[in-house]
Amino acid sequence: MSARALAAVLAAAFGLTVLPGGAPRAADPPEIVIGSVLPLTGASAQTGAGLRAAQQLAVDLINGHVTYPLPAVGHSGLPHLGHARIRIVFADSQGKPDQARAAAEELISQEHAVALIGAYISSTTATASQVAERAGIPFLNPDSSSPGLTARGLHWFFRTTPNDATFAENFYQFLADVERTRKQKTVVKKIAIVGEDGLFGTGAGDAETSIGTQRGYTIATRVAYPSTTTEVNAEVQRVKSAAPDAIMMASYLPDALLFMRGFKDQGVQPQAILAQDAGFVDPGFIRTLGPDAEGVFTREVFSLDIKHRNHAVPLIDQLFRLRFAGKPLDGNTARDFMGVLVLADAIDRAGSTQPDAIRAALAATNIPGDLTLMPWSSIRFDAQGQNIGGAGIIEQIQDGKYETVWPFDVAVKPVVWPMPAWKH
Amino acid sequence: MEALSTFGQLLVAGLLTGLVFALVAVGLTLVYGVMDVVNFAHGEFLMLAMYAAFGLALVGIGPLVGLPLVAIALFLFGIVVYRLFIRRLLAGPPEATVFGTFGLLVLMQGLAQALFTSDYRSVPDPPFAATLHLGALALPQAALVEGLGAIVLTGALFAFIEYAPAGRAMRAVSEDRTAATLMGIDVQRINTLAFGLGAACAGAAGALLVLSNPAYPTVGASFALTAFVVVALGGFGSIAGALLGALVVGVLEVLGGYYLSPELKMVPVYLAYLVVVLARPQGLLGRR
């Protein structure tokens, strides 16, 4: 065999082995890359791991063919883009603003992400979304509650989760609803607002104060205390002197315990204590206080009780548990799961991976509440990119368990009002 | 009348708070007095003790029964830390102990975060959860037990330093290291004992504090911050000064929080500290 013939045979053999692998690949629908910025290491690494699992689960359901009463899932990819599959690439923010910025830059320049999602911690969401803004790429934030994020006038920023102002609004809607359904007239007039003096407590307290004043309540006292404090004697006395009908609280666990014990010791007996989750939904809260935790109200972003409205809730919960060491779906993971679906739904409706088309589709989003895992009425964005259909739920501790009591259409137990007297 | 009973309540609460601060501060001041070392990781020793007391509570040993166990465990831990680590730092320049113990703080917090996670751990159904009512005064039993513990601990430590042979040797070392060595005192042994006792104090404090506080990786920092002010105010190295300083800080913090504003409750504390440092740099009961 001549050298030329040998070369021809080899070329043919080479071509034959290459073609089957190469040719169908070219016919595959293109992959669409979503970039996700999350705290995968650092103090919030555990939360970050859960969020990552939830987002990956959402992507797998979008690329799969099993349908649920949820947007974008079960069509083997995005139907309007030739069933293109979504690939999500994660980058670590370490929970730090500067690192979140670098992560967002990497996702855009190296991975060519068509849109970003993230970043849980409000300060990291702020920097990562600035990068997307400069690059002209949509940024979807499913999980940061600092009200200021949607007040920056960004063109490419969208937030599906309600923010702290919404939750404050919910407290007053709840008070009004309770009042409406009770025989006696007006129950709550004077309110004490208590919160730690960081971003969380101050933001919540500001919103509660302004909305309460608008609605005609008297803010009897506003107590802001250092979150690292080891005693709250003066704070409790101030609340006692104000003699409020209801107390609104934003505290982490150590301080929440100090306040609850202080209220009991000093005989502070309001009709209701309304808390912004955090310390009041920590597993240690009921375990430590036992019967003294009874009757406390706390807002939450999610509850498995929402299964009464959307039967996908327990199914997604089961799938999530299989992937995340048996841990149940919670407020953070459910919100991140929904965030990916909202983004995928918009890309699909855009029928294009052009940033402008995706942004237009996001702005036109209109998903009814019962097609979400959340207690929301809908997902629709205002001009600032804030979802206006967002709402929280209110739970009450009854017989040592958190029971959903509001909004009434997802409630599993009636409200116990006023909260029981302290037992000595 | 109402105003007067509020003041009385705040004053008593301030004193009880001060006793809790003293509980944390005595160990810190003891180590400083003998060795001239400010142990920045003292709060982390406290954190470790709180986790230990929490762990014992899980297997049915309550905080009060567990207290001697935790104190002994921390004593041994202190000795190991001294032998492996502090002793070497003392051989270096004075800054070595500052950076070294600060490094220990970072290491212990990081390890606690990795091993125990950042979850809050509180003793389920803790004893002394009730409140004692004396006329218009409402006194939480846990605070009373913690306060009593602080008095006993400070008293025992004071008596030990004043009267026990080993305590007198400690005083000798703190007054003049070279002279003590010439008098046949084994300085290394005394240092080891002092550091171990300081850690044991953190152990006892931790076992009492879990009565009313959850354990978490940064819990030590919250308490240690106040303890440093207490020690500086009362006089570095003085046991009685730590007790006095703690009571002053406790009362000022609580009264300031009520009559000024809770956000400003540390202002009178730091003001008092500033006045003392300017007028009496060695602290209220410090010598020199």
- Rounded distance between C-alpha atoms, residue A137 and residue A354, angstroms: 9
Q: Where are the alpha helices (DSSP H) in B36-140?
A: 42-58, 63-81, 87-90, 95-116
CB contact under 8 A, B265 and A43: no
3-state secondary structure of A348: helix
- CA–CA distance, B27 with B243 (Å, rounded to integer): 11
Bridge-based pairing state of the strands A393-398 and A297-300: antiparallel
Least confident interval from A17-26, A363-372, B47-56, B81-90? A17-26
Quick one: pLDDT at residue B124?
A: 79
* Residue A372 shares a structural domain with residue A254: no
Tell me the average pLDDT across B144-160: 91
Classify residue A22: in a domain, yes or no. Answer: no
* Phi and psi angles of residue B43, each rounded to the nearest 5 degrees, phi first: -60, -35
Q: Do A235 and B257 touch (CB under 8 A)?
A: yes
Cβ–Cβ contact A264 with B under 8 A: yes
Q: Is the pLDDT of residue A18 over 60?
A: no
In a domain, A23, yes or no: no
Residues in chain A with CB shorter than 8 Å from the CB of B258 are 233-234, 237-238
How many whole angstroms separate alpha carbon A135 and alpha carbon A95? 22
DSSP H or E stretch at residue B255: helix B239-259
Q: Which tokens is B45 given?
A: 């020793």
Query: Which residues on chain A are in Cβ contact (under 8 Å) with B263?
Result: 197, 224-226
- Would you call A231 and B225 a contact, using CB atoms and an 8 Å cutoff? no
Per-residue confidence (pLDDT) for residue A229, from 0 to 100: 83
What's the pTM value of the predicted model, to 2 decimals? 0.77
Inside any domain, residue A20: no
On whether both A144 and A205 belong to a single domain, the answer is no
The closest of B70, B39, B20, B13 to B223, measured between CA atoms, is B20
pLDDT in tens, B229-285: 899 898 888 888 999 999 999 999 999 989 988 888 889 999 998 998 898 888 888
Residue A302 to residues A63, A372, B22, Cα–Cα distance (Å): 25, 11, 43
Q: Is the pLDDT of residue A60 over 80?
A: yes
Q: Say if A248 falls within a structural domain.
A: yes
Residue A255, both tokens: 């301080």
Q: What mean pLDDT is predicted for residues B184-200?
A: 90
Cross-chain CB nearest to B222 (options A228, A241, A424): A228
Q: Do A282 and B120 touch (CB under 8 A)?
A: yes
pLDDT of residue A29: 65
Strand, coil or helix: what is A172?
Answer: helix
Taking only the tens place, the pLDDT of each residue in A357-385 is 999 999 999 999 999 999 999 999 999 99
Average of per-residue pLDDT across A376-402: 93
Single-letter residue type at B244: L
Q: Spell out which residues of chain A touch residue B125, defining contact as CB-CB under 8 Å.
A: 290
Write out pLDDT tens, residues A181-210: 876 555 889 999 999 887 788 888 999 999
| Chain-chain contact of A253 with B214 (C-beta, under 8 angstroms) | yes
Q: Where are the domains of chain B?
A: 2-95+137-279
- Amino acid A77: pLDDT: 94
Write down the pLDDT at residue B288.
60
Q: Which of residues 176-205 of A touch B (CB under 8 A)?
A: 197
Nearest to B106 by CA among B223, B226, B231, B220: B220
ipTM for the assembly: 0.81
- Max CA separation in chain A (angstroms): 105
Chain A residues touching residue B120 (CB < 8 angstroms): 253-254, 282, 284
Interface contact flag, B120 A254, Cβ < 8 Å? yes
Helix (H) or strand (E) holding B139: strand B137-140
| B253/chain A closest Cα distance in angstroms | 8
Secondary structure of residue A48 in the 3-state scheme: helix
A266/B138 Cβ within 8 A: yes
In this structure, the answer to whether residues A154 and A293 fall within a common structural domain is no
pLDDT tens figures, B92-119: 898 899 999 999 999 999 899 888 877 8
A266 and B14 in contact by Cβ < 8 A? Answer: no
A422 found inside a domain: no
Output the DSSP codes for B68-98.
Answer: HHHHHHHHHHHHHHIIIIIHHHHTS-THHHH
Q: Are the CB atoms for B86 and B195 separated by under 8 Å?
A: yes
> Within a 13 Å sphere around the CA of B172, how many CA atoms are in the beta-carbon half?
18
Are residue A177 and residue A115 in the same domain, yes or no? no
Percent of chain B whose predicted confidence (pLDDT) is above 70: 99
Whether pLDDT at B136 is above 60: yes
Say yes or no: A254 and A398 in one domain.
Answer: yes
CA distances from A44 to A33, A120, A157, B117, B226 (A): 25, 9, 23, 10, 27
Shortest CA distance from B109: residue in chain A: A43
Mean pLDDT of chain B: 89
Give the number of domains in chain A: 2
Place of tokens 């000024």: B260
- pLDDT average, residue stretch A147-154: 89
Out of A46, A234, A292, closest to residue B257 by CB: A234
Per-residue pLDDT band for A315 (boundaries 50, 70, 90) equals: very high
- What residue has token string 């849109």? A115
In DSSP terms, A379 is beta-bridged to A367
A390 and A161 Cβ atoms separated by less than 8 Å:
yes
- The pLDDT tens digits for A62-116 are 999 999 999 999 999 999 999 999 999 999 998 889 999 999 999 999 999 999 9
Residue A109 inside a domain? The answer is yes
Q: 3-state secondary structure string, A363-376?
A: HCCCEEHHHCCCCC
Asked whether the predicted pLDDT for residue A39 surpasses 50, the reply is yes
Tokens of B147: 């306060």
Q: Which residues of B touch A (CB under 8 A)?
A: 6, 9-10, 13-14, 17, 20, 113, 117-126, 129-131, 138-140, 212-214, 216, 219, 221-223, 225-226, 250, 253-258, 262-263, 265-266
Closest CA to B126 of B140, B109, B114: B140
Beta strand extents in A106-245 (DSSP E only): 115-118, 139-141, 157-159, 190-196, 218-225
Looking at residue B254, the DSSP 8-state letter turns out to be H
Average pLDDT over residues B20-46: 90
Residues A402 and A277 in one domain: yes
CATH of the domain at A355: 3.40.50.2300
Chain A residues close to B247, C-beta within 8 Å: none
Q: Tell me the shortest Cα–Cα distance from B43 to chain A, in angstroms.
A: 13
Computed over every residue of chain A, the mean pLDDT equals 88
The residue in chain A having the minimum alpha-carbon distance to the alpha carbon of residue B223 is A230
Q: Is residue A169 part of a domain?
A: yes
pLDDT tier for residue B180 given thresholds of 50, 70 and 90: confident
Q: Does A43 touch chain B (CB under 8 A)?
A: yes
Chain B residue with Cα closest to A235: B262
Is the Cβ pair B138, A265 closer than 8 Å?
A: yes
Which range of residues forms the domain containing residue A180? 165-300+393-406
Residues A249 and A347 in one domain: no
Longest Cα–Cα distance of chain B, Å, equals: 63
Q: Is residue A361 part of a domain?
A: yes
